Chain A
Amino acid sequence: GDSVTQMEGPVTLSEEAFLTINCTYTATGYPSLFWYVQYPGEGLQLLLKATKADDKGSNKGFEATYRKETTSFHLEKGSVQVSDSAVYFCALTLVDYGGSQGNLIFGKGTKLSVKP
Chain B
Amino acid sequence: EPEVTQTPSHQVTQMGQEVILRCVPISNHLYFYWYRQILGQKVEFLVSFYNNEISEKSEIFDDRFSVERPDGSNFTLKIRSTKLEDSAMYFCASRWRALTDTQYFGPGTRLTVL
Interface residues of A (CB under 8 A from B): 32, 34, 36, 42-46, 49, 51, 89, 91, 93-95, 97, 100-109
Contact = CB atoms under 8 A, between A and B. Distances in A.
B108 A102 contact: no
B73 to A, nearest CB: 19
Interface hub of A95, A103, A104, A105 (most chain B Cβ within 10 A): A103
Contacts of B41: 108
A45 B105 contact: yes
B55 interface: yes
Interface residues of B, number: 25
17 contacts: A32-B99, A34-B102, A36-B105, A42-B107, A43-B106, A49-B102, A91-B43, A94-B99, A95-B100, A102-B31, A102-B95, A103-B33, A103-B56, A104-B93, A106-B43, A108-B41, A109-B42
Contact of A46 (B35, B50, B104): B104
Contact of B91 (A43, A46, A107): A43
A102 B32 CA distance: 10
Contacts of A44: 43, 91, 93, 105
Interface of B: 31, 33, 35, 41-45, 48, 50, 55-56, 91, 93, 95, 99-108
Interface hub of A32, A43, A94 (most chain B Cβ within 10 A): A43
B105 A43 contact: yes
Contact of B45 (A32, A105, A108): A105
B29 to A, nearest CB: 11
A43 B95 contact: no
A91 B105 CA distance: 14
Nearest to B55: A101
B108 A51 contact: no
A97 B44 contact: no
A109 to B, nearest CB: 6
Contacts of B103: 46, 93, 102, 104
Contact of A104 (B45, B106, B108): B45
